[in-house]
Amino acid sequence: MNTAGTHVTGKNYIGNQLSAKGKKTYTTFNPQTNTENTNVFTEATQDEINQATDLAADAFQVYSKKSGKEKAGFLRAIAEEIENLGDELLTVYASESGLPAGRAIGERGRTLGQLRAFANHVEEGSWLEATIDTAQPERQPMPKGDLRKMNIGLGPIVVFGASNFPLAFSTAGGDTAAALAAGCPVLVKSHPMHAGTGEMVASAIIKAAEKTGMPNGVFSNLNSSGIEVGQALVKNPNVKGVGFTGSIRGGRALYDLAATRPEPIPVFAEMGSINPVVFLPEALNKEADAWAKTYAGSITLGAGQFCTNPGLLLGIKGEGLNTFAQTLAEEIVKIEPSCMLHPNIVGAYKSNKEKALAQKGVEVLANYDGTPKANYGRQIVSKVSGKTFLENPTLHHEVFGPFSLLVESDNEAQIEQILNKLEGQLTGTIVATDKEIAANPNIVSALQNRVGRIIFNGVPTGVEVCPSMLHGGPYPASTDSRFTAVGVDSIKRWVRPFSFQSWPNNLLPNELKNENPLNILRHVDGVKTTDKI
Amino acid sequence: MNTAGTHVTGKNYIGNQLSAKGKKTYTTFNPQTNTENTNVFTEATQDEINQATDLAADAFQVYSKKSGKEKAGFLRAIAEEIENLGDELLTVYASESGLPAGRAIGERGRTLGQLRAFANHVEEGSWLEATIDTAQPERQPMPKGDLRKMNIGLGPIVVFGASNFPLAFSTAGGDTAAALAAGCPVLVKSHPMHAGTGEMVASAIIKAAEKTGMPNGVFSNLNSSGIEVGQALVKNPNVKGVGFTGSIRGGRALYDLAATRPEPIPVFAEMGSINPVVFLPEALNKEADAWAKTYAGSITLGAGQFCTNPGLLLGIKGEGLNTFAQTLAEEIVKIEPSCMLHPNIVGAYKSNKEKALAQKGVEVLANYDGTPKANYGRQIVSKVSGKTFLENPTLHHEVFGPFSLLVESDNEAQIEQILNKLEGQLTGTIVATDKEIAANPNIVSALQNRVGRIIFNGVPTGVEVCPSMLHGGPYPASTDSRFTAVGVDSIKRWVRPFSFQSWPNNLLPNELKNENPLNILRHVDGVKTTDKI
């Protein structure tokens, strides 16, 4: 399958105009067929970047003042236009990711769901955190002026999509939906591995913007196979924030670049994680086989290409752990390998895996030994002692792919020690009986200090999109643990509070007017209410 | 007046222990008497810094789990212990700041008010943003697990107090109160200009911590006259966030240092601002004299040593502006100069003022020409054309002190141009008739893009402590416009959301338990409620 015969043009969207002024081109790759796709993409030039960022800055002046209802209309129209792309989108998606059809449909559903959740969220209005303290002209010793505060958009946001989620964490993914909901224009640095998928989704956003009367420049999509376009975007003074999903190296480079701007801007990068799982003995003694089967599935899900993949399994020496290890080894090799996203990812998986396995004391527990097709990821589980793991930080790093390391610890205290040595993680899981979890507050505490989400008797894979999801965590799980990348609260990354003092009522935004014309919940003189003033 | 005969020891508080292991010492200065104070302060050593940060990390494990009620008790006890310091605190304050007694009493009141506001805030519980999505085991195609999210403290926070607010923005000021409310231990890098005031307040915090059973290390106070102690604190891996109030140079240096740590941490620095004020002609034609008198007061308030001091007055050539300029010149020289905080600040004021006045086209409108006492700040108002101001960025920088620059613009379009050229500001003010403000949306928009708070027909000085206050703004007013330094929402700087998935109800924090034992408002399955589950 290739991308010929589709509506993909290979051009950038500079606002609502297709544009290809550059000379540098590239193609995407079909890992299933192990061949280049035929569409040719043209990299954005510095001129095009300047044009797009200027348009975004102008669009911000108009777009940031749109009502929640208008923005919701735009977000819903994007969802509808993505649906209108029909099967062609799924075809291009498959040709650029090697992911199966079911996954494509699921991820599209998730993307549409996110867009619609943000539409509801901005209509509902609590994200504004509208807060009003009315004047007290008689107060002594000084009168108090009228003060009203609400959240407003930061300005144009640059979004770097993820390789492993061509839809849900890319062009119209969570970062984009959150920024558009906040009133911020978006400039997507298109992911080179799925540039065709990206362009199709971009075309849907542009169509939706035109249909719902949004200003030109509210969205742009910029092609790039290297790092220059992304760097130029992050350095551009019109840009006021950055969203990124990907590797620690990539995320940190953008964070550093943004921090050294004359005007530093926030970068929210959601990066790597090994998602430690603690297995306590009583739970394993009871159900070692069942947990082994569950984890064989979680480790290999999507060829292990999830940021919540369980890459570190911590157990305590003994019967239960032996059974678990044996069953895990038996079960995981039964699973058919699946296609990885790109030869580069296959290559990185291979070398990271080899590096881990070459460390002293690391033993292979199970290694799929069939002959998978080109670009299919061979799952592997290895084992090491707690002491060796503690002493070797190389083993603490993520191996992106269907890989997991089982650590045989001496006791609970050693597990606590290991957790305290780990870097920040997206998730931490504890498999335990009710008695065990209650008896090990130190392990729970150590885990909690390191992660953004803690799971009891489950698997870390499967990130629910709902208000109580935290997808982020201490560095390097993210660059700022105060925010989430998933769920409606991810809008907080792209807003700033703003105060109006003694402002004329008729010139206040509707959100803050005495009449409360939008009928939103507000915090007025210390009380949460939808009442007029 | 000097600090001899007070309870000031000159030592550091390393947790609840007084400690002075170092050899480097310094004294504070009384700008009113123009003499050194007699107390000798000992700089914290690297050992003491390590001890304090280790204690803070340990204290965090206990303190972060204290209930809102317990933390509120601690905060109220701090307020009480500060009151118990009685007049001695005011005496030391005056001897180290040159500020008048009324100001000391007012600032102490503000400090106590902030501590008590945070006590109420953490008891009330909305800062937790407790959000619960209950399980849907029957959901297709996948069951949904139970997810519960709430805000928790980031970890130990380092606070750098402001020179110009020895109480309200220093040792037990807004940053400290917010961090302690969030469940974060605090390490104060004591301001060298008011080290005695700082130590006294630190003693009150330590007393309150002991009385209310808070863990040792919940608070430390570290002396330092240079930059090394602050740098060592910001680089320490146990430190998870930084609050700063002061100069752009100082704030940016800490921001850069924190951004280059292996694990970057958030720095909220509230820095300089020239707080532009736009005067539209009709409003000036009506009340030029009254506005001139009001602004003469605002410019000289506290010797101009406020971050909201109006340093830039933008008007349009004409009758009204001429009258305003003349009255302002007449009125401002009538005001008696007041004492500045420190000879260093007097020196910086003098050289920054001279630099501004030496720029081409800058004309002095009014210059207090009496002979003020040593360390008293001579107020000055100068004038420049809009064109010259636009072309000379040197004039866009803050002159900390009783200084303001009146810009005579050609028209509204030029004012808009000027606003678009300015860096980020804490505040922007517009003085206009109702008709004028409605007729100038571009000026309002330009101002809004640059500031954190916008004021109609008022003065920027006077920062109300209330929920709808935003004290911060686009860089360099602050390092992160998404947060405020004043008001209970400033707690958001020091918290991160955290999710529990399928967690046993009895082991959840009380805030998230089914029974809602704290009776707080929570977001449960999309509905705000205090109901049990």
Can you give the residue range of the structural domain that contains A396?
276-456
- The minimal CB distance from A504 to the residues B133, B434, B501 is found for B434
Which residues of chain A register pLDDT less than 50?
A: 1-2
Reported as type and span, the H/E element at residue A57 is: helix A46-63
Percentage of the residues of chain B whose pLDDT score is greater than 70: 99
- The minimal CB distance from A452 to the residues B454, B464, B498 is found for B498
- The minimal CB distance from B499 to the residues A469, A496, A521 is found for A469
A355 lies in a domain?
A: yes
On whether both B24 and B111 belong to a single domain, the answer is yes
Residue A228 contacts by C-beta under 8 Å, 6 or more apart in sequence? none
Neighbours of B421 (CB within 10 A): 14
Cβ-defined contact of B259 to A256 (cutoff 8 Å): yes
Instruction: Give the domain-ending residue among A404, A439, A456.
Output: A456
pLDDT of residue A142: 86
Min Cα–Cα distance to chain B from A81, Å: 25
Chain B residue numbers with beta carbons less than 8 Å from the beta carbon of A131 are 467-468, 489
A81 lies in a domain?
A: yes
pLDDT of residue A3: 52
pLDDT at B422 over 60: yes
Q: Residue A403 belongs to a domain with what CATH number?
A: 3.40.309.10
Q: Is B394 exposed, middle or buried (0-12, 13-18, 19+ CB in 10 A)?
A: exposed
pLDDT of residue B102: 94
On whether both A401 and A294 belong to a single domain, the answer is yes
On whether both B345 and B254 belong to a single domain, the answer is no
Distance between CA atoms of A390 and A398, rounded to whole angstroms? 15
pLDDT of residue A272: 80
Sign of CA dihedral B205, B209, B210, B211: positive
On whether both A415 and A365 belong to a single domain, the answer is yes
Q: How confident is the model at residue B368 (pLDDT cuts 50, 70, 90)?
A: confident
Q: How confident is the model at residue B160 (pLDDT cuts 50, 70, 90)?
A: very high
pLDDT in tens, B295-320: 999 999 999 999 999 999 999 999 99
Percentage of the residues of chain B whose pLDDT score is greater than 90: 96
DSSP symbol at B43: P
pLDDT at B333 over 90: yes
A386 lies in a domain?
A: yes
pLDDT in tens, B62-88: 999 999 999 999 999 999 999 999 999
Cβ-defined contact of B424 to A263 (cutoff 8 Å): yes
ipTM above 0.95 for this complex: yes
Reported as type and span, the H/E element at residue B108 is: helix B101-124
Number of domains in chain B: 2
Q: Residue A112 belongs to a domain with what CATH number?
A: 3.40.605.10
A33 lies in a domain?
A: no
Cβ-defined contact of B501 to A448 (cutoff 8 Å): no
On whether both B378 and B443 belong to a single domain, the answer is yes
Residue in this structure with the two tokens 């000026």, named with its chain if needed? B443
On whether both A235 and A288 belong to a single domain, the answer is no
Cβ-defined contact of B501 to A458 (cutoff 8 Å): yes
DSSP symbol at B501: E
On whether both A309 and A250 belong to a single domain, the answer is no
On whether both A263 and A299 belong to a single domain, the answer is no
- The minimal CB distance from B466 to the residues A147, A452, A455 is found for A147
Q: Which of B116, B468, B491, B525 to mutate to test the interface with A (most CBs of A within 10 A)?
A: B468
Min Cα–Cα distance to chain A from B279, Å: 15
On whether both B355 and B407 belong to a single domain, the answer is yes
Chain B residue numbers with beta carbons less than 8 Å from the beta carbon of A479 are 264
pLDDT of residue B38: 94
Task: Give the residue on B whose Cα is nearest the Cα of A506.
Answer: B438
Cβ-defined contact of B467 to A504 (cutoff 8 Å): no
Cβ-defined contact of B497 to A489 (cutoff 8 Å): yes
Cβ-defined contact of A498 to B448 (cutoff 8 Å): yes
pLDDT in tens, B252-297: 999 999 999 999 999 999 998 999 999 999 999 999 999 999 999 9
Token output for B447: 């101002």
A524 lies in a domain?
A: no
On whether both A113 and A244 belong to a single domain, the answer is yes
Min Cα–Cα distance to chain A from B482, Å: 4
- Cα within 13 Å of Cα(B44), Cβ side: 34
Instruction: Identify whether A476 is preceded by a cis peptide bond (ω within 30 of 0).
Output: yes
Task: Give the residue on A whose Cα is nearest the Cα of B255.
Answer: A259
On whether both A288 and A382 belong to a single domain, the answer is yes
Type of residue at A469: M
Chain B residue numbers with beta carbons less than 8 Å from the beta carbon of A474 are 263, 496
pTM: 0.97
Cβ-defined contact of B470 to A499 (cutoff 8 Å): yes
Min Cα–Cα distance to chain A from B503, Å: 5
Chain B residue numbers with beta carbons less than 8 Å from the beta carbon of A423 are 263
Token output for A248: 């620690």
A5 lies in a domain?
A: no
Min Cα–Cα distance to chain B from A529, Å: 12
B464 lies in a domain?
A: no
- The minimal CB distance from A145 to the residues B464, B495, B500 is found for B464
Token output for A277: 């799982």
pLDDT of residue A369: 83
Across residues B478-482, what is the average pLDDT? Answer: 98
Chain A residue numbers with beta carbons less than 8 Å from the beta carbon of B480 are 266
On whether both A246 and A319 belong to a single domain, the answer is no
Residue A299 contacts by C-beta under 8 Å, 6 or more apart in sequence? A309, A310, A332, A379, A381, A402, A403, A404
pLDDT of residue B369: 83
Cβ-defined contact of A452 to B503 (cutoff 8 Å): no
A44 lies in a domain?
A: no
